[in-house]
Amino acid sequence: MNVSYNWLREMVEFDLSPQELAEKLTFVGLEVERLSPIGEDWCLELELTTNRPDCLSIVGVARDVAVICSKEVRLPDYSVETAGDETARFTSVEILDAHLCPRYSAQVIRGVQVKESPDWLKERLEAIGVRPVNNVVDVTNFVTMELGQPLHAFDYDVLAENRIVVRRAKTGESITAINGKTYRLTEDMLTICDAREPVAIAGVMGGLFSEVKERTTNILLESAYFDPVSVRKTSRALVLESAASYRFERGVDPETVLAASLRAAQMIHELAGGEVAPVPVDINHQKVEPGSASVRFSRIPKVIGYEVAPERVVEILTLLGLPVITRDEEMVEVSVPPRRSDISREIDLIEEVLRHEGIEKVPPVAITTSEVRPEHRQRFLFRAREHMRGFGFYELLSDSFAADTEMGGMCFFEARKPLRVRNPVVAHRPLLRRSLIPNMLEAYRASRAAAEKKVGMFEASVAYLPGPAKLPEEKHVLAFLCPQGYLAAKGTLEALLSCLRLEGASFETASHPAFEPGRASAAVLAGKRFAFLGDLSREALEYFDIEETCAVCELDLDYLYSRLRGEISFTPIPRFPKVLRDMAVVLDEKVLWQEVRDDVQGLGVSLLRHVELFDTYRGQQLPAGKKSLAFSLEFQSPERTLTGEEVDVHVRDIASHLAKRFGAALRK
């Protein structure tokens, strides 16, 4: 909003320099972003908050200046000289949608002479960035900026039947606006029409055909109130913004409609001549009564922290245009005009007092703060998520609902009946989820359908299981999807457990309808299954419409948290080198690697630090029902360098034990 310094001085008597005025306006909440000299005037560019549409006018800003300077506002003269027959003899107004246009006023001015505006008027408009056009159009722009009520002047003689019809646009209608562009209208857009066609887009812009030209002699002056939402939607749909739409969509004062029309009619009469027809047409379907609000004088210091004299409180509110209704020693009640839609409560009046008495007067208050650190469980959950992101997985956040199907409502932990939502947000997903995996698979399918590359994803959130009380049991779980398959998923789980310092987990075979038989397992810690993982079964892939095989895993974070050790141990980096030996054994297909590894580690070889599988082979070179497991053995001593001979002794002992335990033969 641009404001003229000289224009404000005409409305309020003050001696502040432009720089001082800009500073004081900023301190009362009307921030001056830029102050620019324009000829012999200054332009103050205001950044207004959305709750102050009343300040989209010179008069609105002048009210705050009046409080700053303790001076009254000199409002414009709304009296007008009229002559001849009443307006109703020359025109009529028909409103077909009173909801979108509650009020419409029309005045007819006959015999005007359209010409260049006088210098003072052009200077006022140029100071606030408005281009002068002619004396009639310049007056409508002047009053729009002065009072905040947009106006529009039509060439009366080109209006079909010389009348106005306010209606929604018809299918296929279009209009060429005064900017020279043609806009196709839709049925939800309000238009100003004559007896045949649209002549303006209501609240946005007038039409080119009916604009005031040099040959215009008779004028129909429009002043109206349009629904803000309707104007905003129309302006956005047409990508067309104007000074009028900027004000209408933020809300103008419905009580200024007729006053602005009278003010403009008198100015046109003075600058362009002509006769103003008496008794303008004024159709008003929405009578707006002023509201009221009261403030207790004793309440003000309790809110803002310092005393304000009751006389000063009354002065501030009165100069802001809030006239006193009643007042006693304890409180004051004021009338609130429609233009101040931001005022309805006592606290709103206190805010007005605070703005003008000074926020800088609020006494400082010592604020004591204490560092709030997340509890240990929260830190554990955060670390789990952080490690998964570090592994290259994308984090997912999904809702808490599931489909009422075997796959959609799958569960891995304590398969109790799912909880049903009484009023589901989505009709086909009426259950509270018992697993995070179904939503993750839907997200993965959508990602692949969008031609995205295969990405791993995870989610750490809550699954809901029926509990003994009315409220469900909320189990914290972590689920992840690994496009590379079962072995990659198992490696990811092992890496996560290692990062969380959870040791001793083992794996055993498991089955679930969502997993491919023979390609699934459960992770066990201290005798309890805490995680399930495997490649998706063919049925699951078909249900979720996923084309390629992928693996999923879900683990119980609550149980893992309960198994955390309280202390953190430290082992120094060994000073002496490690010795590696590889071994490949042929054994029965039914023997699991987990059994082999546990048996080797259970031999009690003190120098054996680590056993790791690196290859599994099945093929024609092996007898039927046999497989080959190749693994590495890592030996190391914290006290000395090992010799090859003593390591070989341990390797032979391990091979001998595996032969006796599993019938394993060394593969050559």
d(CA 251, CA 255): 12
Among 425, 429, 141, which residue's Cα sits nearest to residue 264? Answer: 141
Please determine, for residue 245, whether its predicted confidence score (pLDDT) is greater than 90.
Answer: yes
The enclosing H or E element of 201 equals strand 198-201
Contacts 24+ apart (CB under 8 A), 613-616: 614/582, 615/584
pLDDT in tens, 168-224: 999 999 999 999 999 999 999 999 999 999 999 999 999 999 999 999 999 999 999
Determine the length of the chain: 668
586 close to 627: Cβ distance less than 8 angstroms:
yes
* pLDDT at residue 31, as a whole number: 93
d(CA 588, CA 624): 9
The answer to whether the Cα torsion of 189, 192, 196, 199 is positive or negative is negative
Domain ranges for the chain, please list them.
Answer: 2-69, 87-284, 291-361, 376-562, 579-666
**Average pLDDT, integer, range 30-42:** 93
Q: Residue 589 has which token pair?
A: 């297909």
Neighbours of 131 (CB within 10 A): 10
* pLDDT at residue 667, as a whole number: 86
Could you tell me which residues are beta bridge partners of residue 465?
Answer: 473
Classify residue 364 by its DSSP letter. P
pLDDT in tens, 131-141: 999 999 999 99
Predicted TM-score (pTM) above 0.85: no
Distances from the Cα of 652 to the Cαs of 405, 616, 628, 657, in angstroms?
55, 21, 18, 9
CATH homologous superfamily of 376-562: Bira Bifunctional Protein; Domain 2 (3.30.930.10)
pLDDT band at 373; cut points 50, 70, 90: low
* pLDDT at residue 149, as a whole number: 96
Question: Which amino acid, residue 449?
Answer: A
CATH topology of domain 579-666: Alpha-Beta Plaits (3.30.70)
pLDDT band at 371; cut points 50, 70, 90: low
Distances from the Cα of 445 to the Cαs of 213, 398, 450, in angstroms?
63, 14, 9
Please determine, for residue 570, whether its predicted confidence score (pLDDT) is greater than 80.
Answer: no
* pLDDT at residue 273, as a whole number: 94
d(CA 224, CA 74): 24
117 close to 111: Cβ distance less than 8 angstroms:
no
* pLDDT at residue 372, as a whole number: 61
d(CA 565, CA 128): 72
**Average pLDDT, integer, range 301-322:** 94
d(CA 416, CA 179): 68
Strands of 551-556's sheet in order across: 394-395, 457-465, 473-482, 551-556, 528-536, 515-525, 506-509
Least confident residue range of 108-112, 423-427, 507-511, 637-641? 423-427
Q: Residue 236 has which token pair?
A: 């956005």
* pLDDT at residue 369, as a whole number: 66
* pLDDT at residue 198, as a whole number: 96
Question: Which amino acid, residue 472?
Answer: P
What percentage of the chain reaches a pLDDT higher than 90?
A: 75
* pLDDT at residue 568, as a whole number: 61
Distances from the Cα of 183 to the Cαs of 95, 188, 543, in angstroms?
22, 14, 49
What is the dotted CATH code of the domain comprising 291-361? 3.30.56.10
**Average pLDDT, integer, range 590-598:** 87
What is the dotted CATH code of the domain comprising 87-284? 3.50.40.10
**Average pLDDT, integer, range 91-116:** 96
d(CA 649, CA 654): 9
Among 228, 5, 251, which residue's Cα sits nearest to residue 124? Answer: 5
Please determine, for residue 493, whether its predicted confidence score (pLDDT) is greater than 90.
Answer: yes
CATH 3.30.56.10 assigned to 2-69:
yes
**Average pLDDT, integer, range 399-404:** 88
Among 493, 489, 497, which residue's Cα sits nearest to residue 551? Answer: 489
Contacts 24+ apart (CB under 8 A), 330-334: 330/296, 330/297, 330/298, 331/294, 331/295, 331/296, 331/297, 332/294, 332/295, 332/297, 333/292, 333/293, 333/294, 334/292, 334/293, 334/294
Widest pairwise Cα distance in the chain = 126
Distances from the Cα of 557 to the Cαs of 303, 385, 502, in angstroms?
47, 11, 12
Distances from the Cα of 273 to the Cαs of 59, 111, 610, in angstroms?
26, 7, 104
Question: Which amino acid, residue 407?
Answer: M
pLDDT band at 588; cut points 50, 70, 90: very high
Output phi, psi for 74, to 5 deg: -90, 100
Please determine, for residue 375, whether its predicted confidence score (pLDDT) is greater than 90.
Answer: no
> CB within 8 A of 37, min separation 6: which ones?
43
pLDDT band at 619; cut points 50, 70, 90: confident
Distances from the Cα of 141 to the Cαs of 121, 131, 262, 411, in angstroms?
10, 9, 14, 69
Contacts 24+ apart (CB under 8 A), 332-337: 332/294, 332/295, 332/297, 333/292, 333/293, 333/294, 334/292, 334/293, 334/294, 335/290, 335/291, 335/292, 336/290, 336/291, 336/292, 336/293, 337/253, 337/255, 337/290
What percentage of the chain reaches a pLDDT higher than 70?
A: 97
Q: Residue 162 has which token pair?
A: 């010389």
pLDDT band at 415; cut points 50, 70, 90: low
Mean model confidence pLDDT for the chain: 91
Would the CATH topology of 2-69 be identical to that of 291-361? yes
